[in-house]
Structure 1
Amino acid sequence: MTDATKDDLQKMPLLDHLIELRTRLLYSVGALVVAFIGAWFLSEDIYRFLVKPLADILLEIGVEQGEARRMIFTNLTEVFFTYVKVSFFAAAFVTCPVFLGQVYRFVAPGLYKHEKAAFLPFLIASPILFFIGGALVYFAILPLAWDFFIQFEAPGSSDSLAIQLEPKVNEYLSLTMKLIFAFGLCFQLPVIMTLLARVGIASSEGMAKKRKYAIVATFVVAALLTPPDPISQISLAVPIVLLYEVSIYMAKLVEKRRRQREEELDRELES
């Protein structure tokens, strides 16, 4: 894109920008609605998938104790609205690349070629990192956390009642989605910090100096976002600390490329 073309786009009337924004929003919402309808027909299967980490543990305990285990609901509409939440959750997850793609298509006409090349990797990395964070919590954190809490069950006796878990459908889904979103968002750290480094708000040197504060903040955030057990908290905090180190390395690469571009520009001006 030439400078003149970019200037013409920047001079585009506000109404045209709003129309373009509306178009991108309509595409995004349309994709979300279509995905929601499709997910609704699979909502039971999706919920079974989400509940499997707990179901495997409870079914194993049920076999050992010779009794059936179950999940309960205490409101007539609870299961229905839980399936609605499941469908929306799945639709949002699937259409996330569509939303990001529409954002890119909206801002791309106002970017230079090298700016597009710099922005596109972040667009690709964001959903991939979110998926990795969600997969980590589902396959690693949830089984460990649920096994930890199940240990608090206690058998009854002649003078005491049994303490037995009967999880609610809605509460289980809410907790599971909260953990998946928390891990997915925390895994966006390299993307966010690298973008901040590109615009000059953050630097690799500054992040390195504040490393100890970042580690403390990481464990505080992990304590707030995860169940109150040390396994879940450490399982979230350690990857975030590692991702913070990755962010420092990515910021160094960004700064190195910026210096190279500035040196090339200086040489062109001198020649």
Structure 2
Amino acid sequence: MKKKDMLGNEDSFISHLIELRSRLMKASIVVIVIFLCLMPWAGTIYDFLARPMMLALPEGSKMIATGVITPFLIPVKVTMLVAFIISLPWVLYQMWAFIAPGLYTHEKKLIAPLVVSSSALFIAGIAFCYFLVFGVIFHFINNFAPKSISVAPDIDSYFGFVMTMFIAFGLTFEVPVIVIVLVRMGLVSVEKLKQIRPYVIVGAFVIAAVVTPPDVMSQLLLAVPLCLLYEVGLLLAPLFVKITQAPKESESV
């Protein structure tokens, strides 16, 4: 009997691995197809990414490429990133389809909104960084540079900086989701999170000082949204907990 149970568990584990591989392949294929479709416009896509920097540089200035294959490699990386963002709904759907069969109804009410909201907030953070923060940062750097210096950023360094900022702001915009998950899982109460609010504010400015360039405006543009989104999470967490309660939990409340 025990041997049969072990064989059954092993078969179940293998079937889950096969299902996971299938979902990963479906997600990867869509990303690759979109990437290949976008490749003819890789240069234009990179120009769009570089636009905030180009607007801040003196007229006629251009970026430079110091590596032999850098002029090809960096636009390809940027295009792959754009392809992944475009295909993100499909990727998230595959993830959802893999875990949904093992969830209870009330758990599905918890996961689906979190998946959608976390992806939307991450993209919103990237958009906020690109359309607002970059303009402030790059103009500050260009105006601060001595007249004896010719500002010509390397495209590889620029891409690395942009990715760091995108990740920082994308994760910052995930704060409401993090707060809601912590409260829903019972790891911390809303009251406790309200009590540590002063420490969160200090931490937000410390993170902003580490991640962003050393000008007050760019630091405020990261720290202030982080604090505001923390408050949004505190407001939404009790409502989200109530909606996603299991029937037994609701009866006991």
TM-score of the alignment, normalized to the shorter chain, above 0.5: yes
Q: Does residue 23 of the first structure (1) align with residue 10 of the second (2)?
A: no
Equivalent in 155, 176, 183 of residue 169 of structure 1: 155
Residue of structure 1 equivalent to 2:5: none
Residue of structure 1 equivalent to 2:129: 137
Counterpart of 1:91 in 2: which secondary structure?
Answer: helix
- Give the drift of 1:202: 2.6
Offset from partner CA, 1:80-107 (integer Å, 9 cap, x none): 1111211221122222222221111111
Counterpart of 2:144 in 1: which secondary structure?
Answer: coil
- Give the drift of 1:238: 0.4
RMSD over aligned Cα atoms? 2.2
Offset from partner CA, 1:105-127 (integer Å, 9 cap, x none): 11100112222122211121122
Equivalent runs, 1:219-234 vs 2, <5 Å: 219-234=205-220
Distance 1:259 1:117, change over 3 A: closer
Preserved contact between residue 197 and residue 254 of structure 1 (Cα < 8 Å):
no
Question: Normalization by structure 2: what TM-score?
Answer: 0.89
- Give the drift of 1:262: 5.1
Distance 1:191 1:95, change over 3 A: same
Preserved contact between residue 203 and residue 251 of structure 1 (Cα < 8 Å):
no
Q: Does residue 116 of the first structure (1) align with residue 108 of the second (2)?
A: yes
Preserved contact between residue 190 and residue 243 of structure 1 (Cα < 8 Å):
yes
Distance 1:48 1:264, change over 3 A: closer
Q: Does residue 82 of the first structure (1) align with residue 68 of the second (2)?
A: no
Equivalent in 61, 64, 77 of residue 72 of structure 1: 64
- Give the drift of 1:14: 0.8
Equivalent runs, 1:209-248 vs 2, <5 Å: 209-248=195-234
Q: C-alpha separation between the residues in 2 aligned to 1:190 and 1:266?
A: 27
Residue of structure 2 equivalent to 1:32: 31
Residue of structure 1 equivalent to 2:192: 206
Distance 1:266 1:150, change over 3 A: closer
Distance 1:258 1:113, change over 3 A: closer
Q: Which amino acid aligns with 2:47?
A: R
Preserved contact between residue 106 and residue 246 of structure 2 (Cα < 8 Å):
no
Q: C-alpha separation between the residues in 2 aligned to 1:135 and 1:188?
A: 14
Q: C-alpha separation between the residues in 2 aligned to 1:178 and 1:41?
A: 26
Q: C-alpha separation between the residues in 2 aligned to 1:250 and 1:164?
A: 49
Preserved contact between residue 218 and residue 237 of structure 1 (Cα < 8 Å):
yes
Q: C-alpha separation between the residues in 2 aligned to 1:261 and 1:249?
A: 23
Offset from partner CA, 1:160-208 (integer Å, 9 cap, x none): xx21201111111221122122211211111122122222123211211
| Worse overlay, 213-222 or 232-241 | 213-222
Aligned residues: 245
Q: Which runs of 5+ in 1 are unaligned?
A: 1-9, 63-67, 156-161
Question: Normalization by structure 1: what TM-score?
Answer: 0.83
